[in-house]
Amino acid sequence: MKNGPLFFLGLFFALTLSWAVLALGTHAQLGDLQPHYDDLEGKAFPQRAPGIASRGQLVYQDLGCMSCHTQQVRRPSYGADEARGWGSRQSVTRDYVHQKRPLIGQSRLGPDLANFGIRAEAAGTTKTDLLVNLYNGMNGMPAYRFLFEEREIVGQPSSNALQGVAAAGSELVPTERAKTLAAYLLSLKQTYEYPEARPYAPDETQEGAH
Ligand code: HEC
C-alpha cells in the first residue's frame, strides 16, 4: 500500500468523527433532560424510586434479568406492546432520567417489565407471591433459589419466612437481595402522561378545511 499511514489516519478520523456525533451529539440533545414539573400536582415526574427499590435495581442488574426482559414499551405502530397489556403509552427518555443505568434490555424471552408494578397491583400479586415465583421459577424462567435461605426451624420460626413453601420443620427466608429485588419489581410503573409520550396524530377532521 502506497499511503498506509495516511489511510489509517483517515480511517481513525472517520471513526472518531462518527463516535463523536453518536455519543456527544446524543448527549447534547438529551444530556440536560429534566423531570417534568406538574403544576397541578405540585410534583416533578418521574419521581425518584425509594431507596429499597434502587438497591433492588442493582440486584436486577447483577443477576442479568435484562437478558430476558425489556423495560421499554413501544408505541402501537412499532409493535404490539400496548395490545399485550405491557403499558398504556410508549416509554420515553424522560422515564429513565433518574436511573444511572437504564436497564431497557435487549431481548424478550419474558414479558416487558416497564409496568410490572401496575400489572401486579391489578392482579393482586403480593410481594410474597412474587418471592415464591422467584424461588420456584416460572414457565420458561429460571428459579433463583440462591436468593433464599432454607433452614431448619430452631425455636421460633422467622417472621420473614415464606409460608407454605418449605418442607415441614424447615423454613424459607428471603435474603435482603430477594426482598429489595421484589420491592424494585413492584415499583416499576411508567404511567405519568408526559407531553411527549403521545405520538403526534394529525387531526383528520381538519383535513381540506383550508
Ligand atoms: C431465561 C430467561 C429469563 C431470565 C434470565 C429471567 N426471566 Fe423473568 N420471565 C421469563 C419468562 C419466559 C417469563 C414468563 C413466565 C410465565 O409467563 O409463566 C418471565 C416472567 C417474569 C415475571 C412475571 C412477569 C409478568 O408480567 O407476569 C417477572 C416479574 C420476572 N420474570 C422477573 C425476572 C427477574 C427479576 C429476573 C432476574 C432475577 C428474571 N425475570 C430473569 C424469562 C426469564
More confidently predicted of 72 and 158: 72
Residue 73 has pLDDT above 60, yes or no: yes
The pLDDT tens digits for 107-141 are 999 999 999 999 999 999 999 999 999 999 999 99
- Rounded Cα gap, residues 195 and 210, in angstroms: 27
Over range 193-202, report the average pLDDT.
84
Closest residue by CA, ligand 1 atom 33: 65
Q: How far is the CA of 39 from the centre of ligand 1 (A)?
A: 37
The whole-number average pLDDT for the span 1-30 is 93
Are 86 and 73 contacting, i.e. CB atoms less than 8 angstroms apart?
yes
Question: If 0-12 CB within 10 Å is exposed, 13-18 middle and 19+ buried, where does residue 52 land?
Answer: middle
Residue 103 corresponds to which amino acid? Answer: L
Long-range CB contact pairs, 135-142, < 8 A, 24+: 135/162, 135/165, 135/172, 136/165, 138/110, 140/109, 140/110, 141/68, 141/109, 141/110
Protein residue whose Cα sits closest to atom 13 of ligand 1: 110
The per-residue pLDDT for 163 is 83
Where does residue 37 fall: left (phi above 0), alpha (psi -120 to 50 degrees), or beta otherwise?
beta
Ligand 1 center from residue 144 Cα (angstroms): 11
Closest residue to atom 37 of ligand 1, CA basis: 65
User: For the chain, what percent of residues have pLDDT higher than 90?
Assistant: 77
Which atom of ligand 1 is nearest to 139's Cα? Answer: 18
Give the mean model confidence (pLDDT) for residues 25-52.
Answer: 91
| pLDDT mean across residues, the chain | 92
The three three-digit cell numbers of residue 96, written as one number:
429513565
119 ligand 1 Cβ < 6 A: yes
Q: How many CA atoms within 13 Å lie on the side-chain side of 21?
A: 5
The per-residue pLDDT for 207 is 59
pLDDT tens, position by position, 96-112? 999 989 999 989 999 99
* Residue 122: all three cell numbers together: 391489578
User: Is residue 179 lining ligand 1, measured as CB closer than 6 Å?
Assistant: no
Task: Tell me the average pLDDT across 160-170.
Answer: 86
Neighbours of 197 (CB within 10 A): 20
